[in-house]
């Protein structure tokens, strides 16, 4: 009668077999509980959700003054600007602005105006960002709300009626001497207070 293997060898063989099974994904039936962000080449759903929420907070001016896109969101912002969502968001706002413009009663004196902030409103900087990156410490704004308000105030003093205002920065729209109605178009790249 053969004697059984020593207890220590049996336990060692069992533990070695179990360990091999658990660490080898080819034979393991379980999924790993530990997931490293981006370990599969993609961003985590939590990071994407955070970045979409951050972008919404920026566009609704809930973030307030900010200087730099959070590093976790740089790729998300680039994807937003280069994908379909940015154009769709912009088009929706343009549709609302056009619908409002059609309701404006023109006075006929040539003094009805609509103000457009040029950059990221009528012109785009996307090609620049593609070539130079999508944000960082060098992409910081400067105070502009009072300056733009003063310029609008000068128009009003000259008898102009600001019927509408479209801009990519809250500083284009807020302050004093504001339009009858303002439209904020998306720009998650920088903030100019």
Going from the C-alpha of 18 to that of each of 4, 12, 28, 154, the distances in angstroms are 21, 10, 10, 79
Contact indicator for 189, 134 with CB cutoff of 8 Å: yes
pLDDT digits (tens, 9 = 90+) for 80-121: 999 999 999 999 999 999 999 999 999 999 999 999 886 655
Instruction: Reduce the DSSP state of residue 109 to 3 states and report it.
Output: coil
Per-residue pLDDT band for 126 (boundaries 50, 70, 90) equals low
Which pLDDT band, with edges at 50, 70 and 90, does 35 fall under? very low
Structural fold of domain 43-184: Rossmann fold (3.40.50)
* pLDDT at site 122: 59
Q: How many CA atoms lie within 13 A of 12 on its CB side?
A: 5
The single residue listed with the structure tokens 């907070």 is 57
* Contact predicate 168/186, CB 8 Å: yes
The encoded tokens of residue 154 equal: 């000068």
- pLDDT tens sequence across 141-160: 435 777 788 888 989 999 99
Distances (CA, A) of 6 to 2, 20, 179: 12, 21, 89
User: What integer is the mean pLDDT of 13-19?
Assistant: 47
Average pLDDT of the residues of the chain: 76
Q: What is the mean pLDDT of residues 29-45?
A: 51
Min mean pLDDT across 14-23, 48-57, 73-82, 167-176 is at 14-23
């Amino acid at each position: 009668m053969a004697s059984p293997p020593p207890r220590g060898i049996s336990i060692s063989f069992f533990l070695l077999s179990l360990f091999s099974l658990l660490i080898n994904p080819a034979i393991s039936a379980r999924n790993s509980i530990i997931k490293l962000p981006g370990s599969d080449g993609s961003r985590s759903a939590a990071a994407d959700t955070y970045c979409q929420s951050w972008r919404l907070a920026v566009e609704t001016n809930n973030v307030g003054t900010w200087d730099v896109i959070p590093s976790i969101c740089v790729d998300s912002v680039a994807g937003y600007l280069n994908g379909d969502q940015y154009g769709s968001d912009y088009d929706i706002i343009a549709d609302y602005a056009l619908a409002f413009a059609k309701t404006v009663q023109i006075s006929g004196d040539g003094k009805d105006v609509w103000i457009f902030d040029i950059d990221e409103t009528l012109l785009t900087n996307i090609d620049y960002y593609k070539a130079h990156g999508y944000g960082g410490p060098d992409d910081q704004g400067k105070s502009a709300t009072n300056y733009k308000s003063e310029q609008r105030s000068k128009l009003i003093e000259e008898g102009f009626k600001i019927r509408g205002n479209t801009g990519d920065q809250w500083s284009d729209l807020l302050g004093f001497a504001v339009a009858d109605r303002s439209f904020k178009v998306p720009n998650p790249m920088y903030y100019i207070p």
